[in-house]
Amino acid sequence: MVMKFGSEISRLKSCNKYKTKKKAIKNLIAFFGAQPQPSPSLKAGVIVLFFIFFYFVLPHFLTLLSIIFYLCSMQELNDEYFMQEALKEAQKAYEADEVPVGAVVVMNHKIIARGHNQVELLNDATAHAEILAITSAFNLLGSKYLPEASLYVTLEPCLMCAGALYWGKIRRIVYGATDVKNGYLHHTKEPGPFPAKIEITKGILEAECAFLIQSFFRAKR
C-alpha cells in the first residue's frame, strides 16, 4: 500500500516537472516570438558599420600587419648586417693566426664596440672576442652592465664568455655557428644559464661563420 502510494507520488512529481518544462518552453517561444523584428534603420546601420570596417578599419589593419612583417624582416636584415661585421672581426683573427672568432656590441642600431680573438697575441686564455668586445663597451659607457645592448658573435660563446655576458646583463645574444665541443650549451644544456628576459638568437649566417672556423682548423692539420 505504502509502495503504491510512493510510486503514485513520484509519477505525479514527474508529471509536474514535465508540465513545468512544457510551460517554460511555451513561455520562451512566446517571448521570442514577441521580439520586434529588425527595423530598416537598424539594417542600414549594420550596412554602414560594415562599410566603415571594410573601407576604414580593414586597410589600417592590413597596413599595421605589413608594418609588423616589415619590422620582422628588418630585424633579420639587421641581424645579418651586424653578423657580417662580427665576421669582419673574425677575419682579422684569422689573418693574425688566431682562432677566427669575432664579436660586435650593438646599441641603438649602432656598433659601440668590437673584438676578435687575441689569445695568442696577449698570451691570455681569457682574451676571447666576446670578453674583449664587452670590456670595450663597459669602458666606453662607463658602466658595468649592458642592459640595452646586443652582442653578435660568430661562434656560440664558451662557458666563460656566457658567464661574462650573464654578469654583464646584456639584453640579447646573437651567434652564428654552434660550437658542439666548447659552446656553453655543451655544459649547461638548453635553455642555458641566462634569465628568460635575455633573448638568444642562433644560426645567423651560420654557414659563413662555421666555414671560417673549419677553414682555420683544416689549414692547421
Contact 103, 129 (CB under 8 A): yes
Is 130 one of the catalytic residues? Answer: yes
- Between 116 and 128, whose beta carbon lies closer to Zn ion? 128
CA distance 26 to 45: 33
Q: Please identify which of the residues 130, 148, 156, 199 carries the catalytic annotation.
A: 130
Contact 83, 127 (CB under 8 A): no
Closest approach, Cβ 54 to Zn ion, in A, equals 56
The side-by-side arrangement of strands in the sheet containing 110-116 is 110-116, 102-107, 150-155, 172-177, 199-202
x/- contact string, 131-160, with Zn ion (CB under 5 A)?
---------------------------x--
Closest approach, Cβ 127 to Zn ion, in A, equals 9
Could you tell me which stretch among 16-24, 50-58, 60-68, 120-128 binds Zn ion (CB under 5 A)? 120-128
Closest approach, Cβ 165 to Zn ion, in A, equals 9
Q: Does 116 bind Zn ion (CB under 5 A)?
A: no
Could you tell me which stretch among 6-14, 125-133, 148-156, 201-209 binds Zn ion (CB under 5 A)? 125-133
- Between 78 and 159, whose beta carbon lies closer to Zn ion? 159
Q: Does 161 bind Zn ion (CB under 5 A)?
A: yes
Contact 135, 151 (CB under 8 A): no
Bridge partners, 200 (sequence order): 173
Q: Does 185 bind Zn ion (CB under 5 A)?
A: no
Using DSSP's 3-state secondary structure scheme, residue 175 falls into strand
DSSP labels for 5-45?
A: HHHHHHHHHHHHHHHHHHHHHHHHHHHHHHSPPPPHHHHHH
Cβ neighbours of residue 200 closer than 8 Å, sequence gap 6 or more = 172, 173, 174, 175, 192, 194
Closest approach, Cβ 64 to Zn ion, in A, equals 41
Q: Does 173 bind Zn ion (CB under 5 A)?
A: no
Q: Does 128 bind Zn ion (CB under 5 A)?
A: yes
Closest approach, Cβ 101 to Zn ion, in A, equals 8
Q: Which residues are catalytic?
A: 130
- Judged by the rule CB under 5 A, the positions of this chain that interact with Zn ion are 128, 158, 161
